Every structure is written in structure tokens, then in C-alpha cells.
Structure 1
Amino acid sequence: MTTTEIHSRFHDLLRAQVGHEFTASQQYIAIAVWFDTNDLPQLARRFYAQANEERSHAMMMIQYLIDKDVKVAVPGVGDVISEFVKIAEPVELALAQEKIVTEQITDLARTAREDGDYIGEQFIQWFLSEQVEEVASMRSLLNIVHRAGGQLFDVEEYVARETSARVNRTTNPPKEAGAL
């Protein structure tokens, strides 16, 4: 079975987005490791889970391309930052990253519409909704970190409480992306 080489702008952007999602996953692992190293297990757990979610997004995109019989190659990942000085820095980085991903996903949706790729546009709608949640979640976490001042146990308590609530409201399709 051969895969079709389709050259649509949407598919090109989606292939690139796979790399962005894998890079985001690696960045979240680096953040989680930093929190783990600094004895903040709830924040570490939160970012390890976020890394898995970003990997899942990449895998969903890969599966879509495979299902559409579009050639796909697994790209390498970009550089990640793994050294931070203050607790707010990795969360600020995560929020900035989610805002960039939101722009990328929005561009994917726009491009699918412009290309007349209605199936692609429908596929990307889930990711648009997901990005609203991701940005809001990171913004809230950053606000809590700032409000807590130096009270890291308060941040850990917040993350523990919110992580369990978040797991109960996930909308990720369960069959997608080969759960870890």
C-alpha cells in the first residue's frame, strides 16, 4: 500500500504541527523534571500529564494524516528550556507556549477553510476547543503561582485539587493516540 503525496497547505501545516506538538511534549517533560528536582511533586505530575496530552495530540494528527492516506514523517523536536530560577518561569513559559499553539491551530482551521478542506476543518475544531481550555488552565495556574508568593505548598495543594477535577472533565477521545 502506498501513501498519497498530497500537497495541500492544510496538510503541510498539519505535518508541521505534529512537530510542534512533540516539541511541546518535550518542553513539558523538561518543566516536570525541573519541578520534580525541586521537590514539587504535584506540579511535576501536572506537567508530566500535560506532556502526555501533547504527545497524544501529535498522535491524533498523525492518525488523521494516515487515515486520509497522506504521507507523514515523524519530525524531530525543537530545543527545550530546562533551567529555571523561579517557580513562575516554567509556568510563564507554558502559558506562552499554549498561546503560540493556539495561533498555530487557528491558522490550521483558517487554512482548511480556505483550502475547502471541510473534513480537515471539522477535524481541527476539537483542537480549537482544547486550546481554549489549555490557555485558561495555564493562565489560572500562573495566577495562583503569583498570588501564592513564596507559599509553594499552597500551589501544590491547588494543583492537587485542580488536577483531580480536570481529569474528571477531560474531552479527549479515549481511543485516540494510544494512551500511555
Structure 2
Amino acid sequence: MISKNMENALNEQIVLEGYASQLYLSMASWCDAQGLEGCAQFMHRQSEEERMHMLKIFHYLSEVDAFAKAPGIDQPPHEFESIRALFEQVYHHEQKVTASIHKLLKIGYDENDHTTLNFLQWYVEEQREEEALMRTILDRIKLIGDGPQSLYYIDKEVQQVNAQAEAAEAAEE
């Protein structure tokens, strides 16, 4: 059993992960409307991944005899200034999620909650990978530029990144 404090904090993380899933789904729709099929596929994959992160915490709470709450999620934005602005927002959101995971770790350490600390180690590694991936994409966008002629190349680069990530995930299974 975990403390009420940890239970509440994990339920807040569920909301954050759920919002990320909806945000990335909204971004996928925007990318699709811009004709950026590779970026849309990437964002759909990211949305599913964030939903899985949310559900992983949801199930964990049940396993430790706590109560998981289905999140009420705010409407994410659906318009973005540019593909670069979109990926900058993704990167900043991932940094926010990382900071939240670190707060959960602090609670775990303060409360001597080794079970939750062990559970959260997966998220620590996952967030490192997510931030690195978004930085890579932003670096490529900066190199290519984000003018109208560059969008085709950005879309192909993101499509390639997506394919590599899918292949890595398949190799882990």
C-alpha cells in the first residue's frame, strides 16, 4: 500500500500523461491537415505511447491497493504556428513530464516508498529517451529550415525517425 500523498501525486501524473496523449492526437490532426503524413503518423504513435504511460500508472495504483482516477482532460490546442513550433511544444511538454516524474521520485524517497521508486525507474529512462528524440527532431528541423519547401524534407526525416523507433520497439518485444 502507498501513502495518500503518493496516490494523489500519481493520479496527477495520470492527468499529465492523458493530456499528453490528447495533445499529440490533436497535433497529429494538424499535421495531417498540413499534408505532413510522416509527422501525423509520428504524433499518432506518440499519442498511443502516452496513453500507455497513463494506463501503466492507472494499473499500478490498483496493484498497490490505491484508487486510480480516470482523468478529466483539458482541451488541447488544435492550431500551431509551424511544424517547428509544434515540436518545440512537444519538447517543452516532455520536459514538464520529466519534472513531474522527478517530483514523484522525491516523494518516494521522502516516504521510503521503494515499491513506487522501483516502478518509476522505467519512467526515468523513458523520459530521457523522449527528450533526446524530440531534441533530435528539433535539431533536424533547424538544419533543414522550416520554410514551405523544407516541409517535405522535415516530414521525411520525422517519418524515418518514426520508422526507427517502431523497429526498436519491435526488437524489444
**Normalised by the size of structure 1, how large is the TM-score?**
0.88
Deviation at 1:71, TM superposition (A): 1.3
1:87 aligns with 2:83: yes
1:13 to 9, 19, 23: 9
1:59 to 49, 55, 61: 55
**Aligned length, in residue pairs:** 169
RMSD over equivalenced CA pairs, Å: 1.7
Give, in whole Å, the separation in 2 of the partners of 1:107 and 1:79.
25
CA contact (8 A) 2:7 2:67 kept: no
CA contact (8 A) 1:28 1:47 kept: yes
CA contact (8 A) 1:9 1:115 kept: no
More helix by share: 2
CA contact (8 A) 1:8 1:115 kept: no
Matched position secondary structure for 2:58: helix
Matched position secondary structure for 2:169: coil
The equivalent residue for 1:157 is 156
Deviation at 1:43, TM superposition (A): 0.2
1:22 aligns with 2:15: no
- Give % identity: 28
Q: Which string of whole-angstrom CA distances, capped at 9 and with x for unpartnered residues, describes residues 8-39 of structure 1?
A: 32221101100110001000011111000000
Q: Which string of whole-angstrom CA distances, capped at 9 and with x for unpartnered residues, describes residues 67-110 of structure 1?
A: 11111220211231111122211111100000000000111111
Give, in whole Å, the separation in 1 of the partners of 2:99 and 2:119.
16
User: Given residue 72 of structure 1, which amino acid in structure 2 is its aligned partner?
Assistant: A
Matched position secondary structure for 1:73: coil
Deviation at 1:166, TM superposition (A): 1.0
1:124 aligns with 2:107: no
CA contact (8 A) 2:6 2:104 kept: yes
Matched position secondary structure for 1:170: helix
The equivalent residue for 2:41 is 45
User: Given residue 11 of structure 2, which amino acid in structure 1 is its aligned partner?
Assistant: R
Give, in whole Å, the separation in 1 of the partners of 2:140 and 2:22.
24
Deviation at 1:66, TM superposition (A): 0.8
User: Given residue 153 of structure 1, which amino acid in structure 2 is its aligned partner?
Assistant: Y
**Normalised by the size of structure 2, how large is the TM-score?**
0.92
CA contact (8 A) 2:141 2:154 kept: yes
Pairwise mapping of residues 129-144 of structure 1 onto structure 2 (< 5 A)?
129-144=125-140
Give, in whole Å, the separation in 2 of the partners of 1:111 and 1:39.
44
Deviation at 1:7, TM superposition (A): 4.2
Give, in whole Å, the separation in 2 of the partners of 1:31 and 1:164.
18
Give, in whole Å, the separation in 2 of the partners of 1:160 and 1:88.
15
1:35 aligns with 2:31: yes
User: Given residue 99 of structure 1, which amino acid in structure 2 is its aligned partner?
Assistant: Q
Matched position secondary structure for 1:70: coil
What 5-or-longer segments of structure 1 have no aligned partner? 175-180
